[in-house]
Amino acid sequence: MRTHRWTTLGGVAAMLLTTIAPLTLLTTSAAATAAPPATSAACPRDAEDTGPATCLLRAGTGGGDQPLPRVTAGRGPLTAGDLQEAYRLPADWLGGGQSVAVVTPYDNPAAGDELAEYREANGMPPCDADFPCFKKINQRGGDTPPAPSPAWAVHSSVGLQLAAAACPNCKLLLVQADDPSLASMAAAVDQAAAQGATAVVPMWGVTEYDGQNALAAHFDHAPTTVVAPSGQGFNNGGRQILPTAYPSVIAVGGTQLYRDPATTRGWNESVWRDTASGCSMYVTRPAWQPAGACGSRRTVADVAAVGSADTPVQVYSTSLGGWGTAAGTPVAAAFIAGVYGLAGTDSVTPAGKRLYASAQYLNDITAGSNGACGGGKICTAARGYDGPSGMGTPNGTGAF
């Protein structure tokens, strides 16, 4: 197995492409003493670009051609090293031979170059002839990309980089769907599984609808684990997003994470106020999920990781003008996909069943909420399982 040590490397060159929705700019010098750069929805402005999709990613500019300053205390843009430390991931030693697939709609021509910048700045080995760790295909497995969409491009940038943050030794596969429809997402996930991916993460969602179960089998590929973002906001209307609500998919919520020397862990983590949770309208609760406020229906989420706009992660994207920040449950989902790659579990036992039986390998999140539900676990953090953070956040790879 190939292993690598972490180092701290310098700056990178950036290109500017201003097609994402307007984002708040914070200069590098100001970032050293101010709060993290503000994030805005990183979603297409044109309804034709969005189609049936639910865009969940937030992003902000700030660094240009230099990574944002690392924050050693309190809140700030989180680096790959920060995330590995916070979640106790043995990233130096594991992940060799595993692959993580990121699924996004449309083409991002700069995805490989952006990943290279992120890897260099975070001390990861380059994807080169000695370590061919990046590949890009379409939903049919071919090399011809779909039409480009700068408005969606940042999704692939964030997905690849967060998966690499959790598993630097994993190979990364970008599967680009024809469009943001659930059918195209399903075809891309099928292709990722056929390519042998250890874990697959679609970076967007589609609202639940009557008849959705016709596509459920496309997201069930054990031993490949499919993970997906839980969404945004407490949902008491009964509709979650897909593929998250499918029982074969690991639903990932978002947390707020920052350094706190007053805690034993050294980090403070709580439910992100904008993460999603709730009951599926159409999906029956899987046997491995405990009964609760949703009764016989599937509850979202299963697990969580950082996703708060108040404690964003650092990313590199030409759509952001270089270095910037990202937040939202797609950030958390891509990172968890990387954790599955790092763990490298080859088991036909449902990933959800393994997860719910492994509470000792998770950080139980007991603070925060994403809505008002009378103090119930469906929207409020509590000991054991709760809707916003599921069973908790990674504490090593034992649960994965």
Mean pLDDT confidence for 275-287 = 94
Which pTM value belongs to this model? Answer: 0.88
Q: Is 133 helix (H, G, I), strand (E, B) or coil?
A: coil
pLDDT digits (tens, 9 = 90+) for 321-348: 999 999 999 999 999 999 999 999 877 7
For residue 156, name the pLDDT band (cuts at 50, 70, 90). Answer: very high
Please say if the pLDDT value at position 95 is more than 50: yes
Mean pLDDT over the full length of the chain: 86
Mean pLDDT confidence for 47-73 = 71
pLDDT digits (tens, 9 = 90+) for 117-138: 999 999 999 999 999 999 999 9
pLDDT digits (tens, 9 = 90+) for 157-168: 999 999 999 999
More confident of the two residues 76 and 97: 97
For residue 213, name the pLDDT band (cuts at 50, 70, 90). Answer: very high
For residue 177, name the pLDDT band (cuts at 50, 70, 90). Answer: very high
pLDDT of residue 55: 85
β-pairing, 225-229 vs 199-202, is: parallel
Is residue 226 a contact partner of residue 248, using CB atoms and an 8 Å limit? Answer: yes
Please say if the pLDDT value at position 17 is more than 70: no
Q: CB neighbours of 296 closer than 8 A, spacing ≥ 6?
A: 284, 285
pLDDT of residue 15: 27
pLDDT of residue 70: 67
Mean pLDDT confidence for 72-86 = 85
Q: Which one-letter DSSP state was computed for residue 78? A: B
Q: Which top CATH class is 34-394?
A: alpha beta
What is the enclosing helix (H) or strand (E) of 342? Answer: helix 329-343
What is the enclosing helix (H) or strand (E) of 135? Answer: strand 134-138
pLDDT of residue 28: 32
The alpha helices in 93-181, defined as continuous H runs, are 111-121, 150-166
For residue 373, name the pLDDT band (cuts at 50, 70, 90). Answer: confident
User: Does residue 372 have a cis bond before it (omega within 30 degrees)?
Assistant: no
pLDDT digits (tens, 9 = 90+) for 215-239: 999 999 999 999 999 999 876 566 8
> Exposed, middle or buried, 303 (CB in 10 Å: 0-12/13-18/19+)?
buried
Of 33, 10, 61, the closest CA to residue 324 belongs to: 61
